Chains A and B, each alone.
Chain A
Amino acid sequence: MPGVNETLVGEGGVASVVNGVRIDDGFAEAFPMAGTALQITAVNEKWALEAARSMTGFATSVIACGCEGGIDRVLSPEETRDGRPGVRVLFFSFDAGGLEKQVTTRLGQCVLTSPSSACYADLEGEAEIDLGSGIRYFADGWQISKKFEGRHFWRMPVMEGEFLCEARTGVTTNGVGGGNLLIMAATSAQALAASEAAIAAMRKVPDVIMPFPGGIVRSGSKVGGKYEGMMASTNDAYCPTLKGVTKSELGPEIGSVLEIVIDGLTAGAVSDAMRVGIKAITELGPQDGALRIGAGNYGGNLGPHHFHLKDLLP
């Protein structure tokens, strides 16, 4: 019912109805991850984004991609290390070793190769992983190490001129992966509109990424499947076309579900992003957007971070 805010905790798993959007009395279950942040700069924003998009491509799920990565935000020249336009990107993986392998591979193939690019550490963490130090041998003996003011850089001659990269970057083990929102609507167009509104708001929150395409995933998964060896399979409980033939979580009014997955450098950043996402969805309302907001979990026994939707109400 638009315009009405009421708390219904305990009534059929509903935490609240805000502006006509039902918010489930559930929680997102998330996991600790190793995370890092990088600055990618270039001669202009266009080329900084080209390098950043390339580096964070195919980084939607750590299970299949080895890491989860995305663009945190665009940086002004005043915010970057070299005074040029830049982009801050975040990467997450299960541990620092896996993170290093992914970051250095992507650095070498996507940033080193991108015209005018440079790459710098943008996180001071409890540990460090290689950045430029992991790819410096590409310069075939012509690489130049520069240490000054407590920082270490590698200069690598390339056909365009010179690629400049910080030697190492910080890693935090306080990262959180798997914060999520399930956006349920009558139609796929309304689910997409609500999800886009949420993403637009969540992208303003620092230290988080939404690693799926455009920040949105349409094929949320459950753990395992009927076929041997499947790590994950379609989340049939939330597939609208399977209502009636599976143990569905969806009522008859729901015709489409989209999910937003959130990774953050801290649990606080993830909860902030979820909070503003919920607010944006409820502000859009059920006429143009979602009827219901939920969250995915595994019963609460696997991940130590539980983001209860009732604690994130607008």
Chain B
Amino acid sequence: MTGLTFRKKSEPQERLDLSPLVPSRLKGLTRKDMAGVVVGTTRLRLTVGDLFDISGDDAAEICFEGGSPRFDRIGEAMDAGEIRVDGDAGNRLGRAMSGGRITVEGSVGGHAGSAMSGGVIRIAGDCGERLGGPLAGEMAGIKGGTIVVAGKAGPRAGDRMRRGVISIMGDAEDDVGSRMIAGSIIVGGRAGGTPGRLMKRGTLFLCGGAEHLAPTFLDNGPADLLIFSVMAREFSKGVVGPVGFDGMAMRRLGGDTAVLGLGEIFLPL
């Protein structure tokens, strides 16, 4: 068996909803069945067959050859298996996924990993706003799993994060970790805006410093904690990989005292 491959025929003229193309929903379907699945979002009712050449037969390993910023909802609600995107992806990549692995060779749009509860997302490029964040009206963002972004992240990454790990190797735009409930976010570059705004609990490692800190974060002084080395060792052996705070002297700030105040931001000394 070889992995199932969807080769892009040409750049789509509309945004696509690719949420049906996950391992659990494709398992057992014939190629003809797959080709008939509607993924368009307009009255044209574009199908998979209109947009992709299909090859392979193992639905547990899916590959999108040739990505697009219009490829929305890839891997939505995925619970197992693997999806690889050779190119860019659109909004809501891996939203509400509970297991499996998604790898994107390019950049992605907003709400990647939104409200996910398990699994791994790796993005080789940049990501849009609210990485792992909730949609409007939802109480929590990412509730488990791991997201690794090799590039930079858009505003409010980790918004309302409840559990899990987000690693952003580049810069984070405004307000990373806003309204965070728990979990861990590592920013290798600089954090813009007011990081951790209204966070209740959780941990922000801002290895490249912060543009601004809310006055409701209180300086706890230098922190030489064992958890740094344990996290760094576990990450380097696992899916996150090496992290910027390994061996770095850090300062701890507790907050946001405008809310519960049990969160923490670590900054380089």
A: residues with CB less than 8 A from B are 81-83, 118, 141-142, 144-151, 153, 155, 161-162, 164
Q: Which of B146, B231, B238, B262 contacts A146, CB < 8 Å?
A: B231
Cα A83 to Cα B227 in complex, Å, equals 12
Interface bracket on B = 20 to 34
Q: Does B239 sit within 8 A of A, measured CB to CB?
A: yes
B223-247 near A? 1/0 per residue, CB < 8 Å: 0111101110111011110000000
Chain B nearest CB, measured from A156 CB (Å): 11
Cα A120 to Cα B264 in complex, Å, equals 23
- Known A144-B201, A145-B182, A148-B165: A155·B235 in contact at CB below 8 Å: no
A148 and B235 contact, CB distance less than 8 A: yes
B262 and A162 contact, CB distance less than 8 A: no
Residues of B close to A83: CB separation below 8 A: 229, 233
Chain B nearest CB, measured from A296 CB (Å): 43
A149 and B235 contact, CB distance less than 8 A: yes
Chain A nearest CB, measured from B255 CB (Å): 14
Closest A residue to B230 by beta carbon equals A82
Q: Which of A82, A144, A145, A155 contacts B233, CB < 8 Å?
A: A82
Chain B nearest CB, measured from A114 CB (Å): 14
Residues of B close to A161: CB separation below 8 A: 224-225
B43-71 near A? 1/0 per residue, CB < 8 Å: 00000000000000000000000000000
Other A-B contacts than A146-B203, A161-B225, A162-B225, 20 sampled, CB-CB below 8 A, are A82-B226, A82-B233, A83-B229, A83-B233, A118-B230, A145-B182, A146-B184, A146-B227, A147-B163, A148-B146, A148-B234, A148-B240, A149-B146, A149-B165, A149-B238, A149-B239, A149-B240, A161-B224, A164-B225, A164-B226
B184 and A149 contact, CB distance less than 8 A: no
Cα A81 to Cα B225 in complex, Å, equals 14
Residues of B close to A146: CB separation below 8 A: 184, 203, 227, 231
Chain B nearest CB, measured from A257 CB (Å): 46
Chain A nearest CB, measured from B101 CB (Å): 14
B210-232 near A? 1/0 per residue, CB < 8 Å: 00000000000000111101110
A81 and B230 contact, CB distance less than 8 A: yes
- Known A145-B182, A148-B184: A153·B225 in contact at CB below 8 Å: no
Chain A nearest CB, measured from B113 CB (Å): 15
Cα A83 to Cα B231 in complex, Å, equals 11
Cα A164 to Cα B229 in complex, Å, equals 11
Residues of A close to B233: CB separation below 8 A: 81-83
A164 and B227 contact, CB distance less than 8 A: yes
Chain A nearest CB, measured from B211 CB (Å): 25
Cα A149 to Cα B224 in complex, Å, equals 22
Closest A residue to B239 by beta carbon equals A149
B237 and A149 contact, CB distance less than 8 A: yes
- Known A162-B226, A162-B227, A164-B226: A149·B201 in contact at CB below 8 Å: no
Chain B nearest CB, measured from A197 CB (Å): 39
A149 and B203 contact, CB distance less than 8 A: no
Chain B nearest CB, measured from A134 CB (Å): 19
Chain B nearest CB, measured from A81 CB (Å): 6
A-B CB contact pairs (8 Å), 10 listed:
A82-B229, A141-B262, A146-B184, A147-B164, A148-B146, A148-B240, A150-B238, A155-B227, A162-B225, A162-B226
Cα A151 to Cα B184 in complex, Å, equals 13
